[in-house]
Structure 1
């Protein structure tokens, strides 16, 4: 993010972009408008319909799979965690939908008619505010954003469970993903996980890549680095983050971190900002 608290974007691609698996330092609201798109988030593939919204946090590894045939249009909202703190005094936790989605490991919102109309209208207005750039634009954006998040939370908690039918997932791979996240400081290998979950190495390797979109090694490495980055941002010393995320070699950790994020770990610590 290049601005404090939030960024808002409206994107349209006429040709399908190639997007690698990635993660963010912030919360993301992905508001899908048109296109032929499946979205992979942490081993689950969401078959998107126009008007669908996905919520991801700073731990989620994700990417869109965009097919040709229609323009790919979406609104994207990025939110720093400090934004939610800035509105906490009003009494409602506007991050509640993100917290619940993280707990359930289920990221999709499908707003109903009135909610969808209202959310789209707010996004169109925020786009207009940004384009005009008149006096008080940032204040207006902030006010619209608070309203948007109120209705986003309402839409999230009103979304019926039936939309899970539009999600492709594998219960065994979901269990393995949870295990990896809970055991990042342990030794994690294909041999060990196959034995732990009573699977053949061939089956585990193929099914993991099919549902998570990455090889087991790639996923574990990206998840470890992502969690290490988050720990550094909260003030954890570099060596402690390295060890707690399962890196036994400090030099290899530094190299992998720089390769993944383009910066050295110390640059993510509060005093380095």
Structure 2
């Protein structure tokens, strides 16, 4: 099953897959709402791993690196919304209710999973069912109805966000890696080879790699690459030129930076900067 509907500012998808798809670490320019229905999934966001169960909802902003890890071949079903934050900002201003607080008012990689009271979960499911119907039977005015449904959903999410401030306890393997991930986060322009990290933390590089793969299903190298691309995107968005963005984000080879940026983002850094700055 695959229900998909797209407007200029909203992308809605409800999928059920008998085979688990393959995902690498990724970022979006838009914000993401991820509603989990079924499967055997641990979801990695920045420095946290969230074991998912039915009814869990994750929110991710456009700076948060994330990746689902599939623990078995169980049927996988979820509903995902990507939307441009600019869509919600006029409503936030007009009605003095911050619709983007659950994406912005927290450290990256923390409090991504929202918990709902029973009546809130019922409202949440009803809203997603409404979006399923709208996406499955589009008609005149569907774009508008999808937008109002999203705004209603954002009100519900932010009410839940404000009510629940309990911290998450990470799995043991990720707790051991936490200092390494913190170091990577703040030293992206340094040497971050496995050998350099081994010397920095007195942790065997093979053991470190194995812990990371067990927790995320991917490699430290891929994680560092995507973190550097995310930093380069931010620098370019803030007005930095391509050469400085390359150096400040830890790419020592300019041609490699151009190639990797295009592979991940879909266009070269010069074009990405031009698109942001006109």
User: TM-score scaled by structure 1?
Assistant: 0.87
Q: 2:166 aligns with which of 134, 152, 161?
A: 161
* Structure 2 residue 147 is the aligned partner of structure 1 residue 142: yes
Q: 1:267 corresponds to which residue?
A: 271
Asked if 2 retains the 8 angstrom alpha-carbon contact of 1:42 and 1:212, the reply is: no
SS of structure 1 residue aligned to 2:26: coil
Alignment of 1:1-273 (within 5 A): 3-66=7-70, 67-69=72-74, 71-90=75-94, 91-103=96-108, 105-159=110-164, 161=166, 164=168, 170-271=174-275
Identify which range, 214-223 or 116-125, moves more after superposition: 214-223
- How far the C-alpha of 1:200 sits from its partner, in A, is 3.1
Q: Output the CA distance in 2 between the equivalents of 1:245 and 1:185.
A: 5
Pairwise CA distance, 1:143: 1.4
Q: Determine if contact 1:233/1:270 at 8 Å carries over to the other structure.
A: no
- Deviates further, 60-69 or 7-16: 60-69
Q: Do the aligned residues in 2 keep the contact of 1:44 with 1:169 (CA within 8 Å)?
A: no
* Aligned-residue offset at 1:157: 2.9
Distance 1:211 1:65, change over 3 A: closer
Q: Distance in 2 between matches of 1:271 and 1:17?
A: 31
Q: 1:153 Cα shift?
A: 1.2
Q: Measure, in 2, the Cα distance between the counterparts of 1:104 and 1:216.
A: 17
Q: What number of residue pairs does the alignment pair up?
A: 271
Give the alignment's TM-score, normalised by structure 2: 0.85
Superposed displacement of residue 119, structure 1 = 1.0
Whole-Å Cα distance in 2 between the matches of residues 127 and 7 of structure 1? 12
Give per-residue Cα distances to partners, 1:90-112, cap 9 Å, x unaligned. 22221111124434624212322
Q: Cα gap change, 1:147/1:32 in structure 2, threshold over 3 Å: closer, same or farther?
A: same
Aligned-residue CA RMSD (Å): 2.6
The separation in 2 between residues aligned to 1:129 and 1:2, in whole angstroms, is 11
Secondary structure of the residue aligned to 2:28 is coil
SS at match of 1:269: helix
Q: Distance in 2 between the 1:246 and 1:214 partners?
A: 20
CA distance in 2, matches of 1:153, 1:167: 26
Change (3 A) 1:25 1:49: same
Distance across 1 between alignment mates of 2:14 and 2:126? 13
1:219 Cα deviation from its structure 2 partner: 1.6
Q: Give me the whole-angstrom Cα distance separating, in 2, the residues matched to 1:103 and 1:257.
A: 22
Stretches of structure 2 lacking an aligned partner (at least 5 in a row)? none
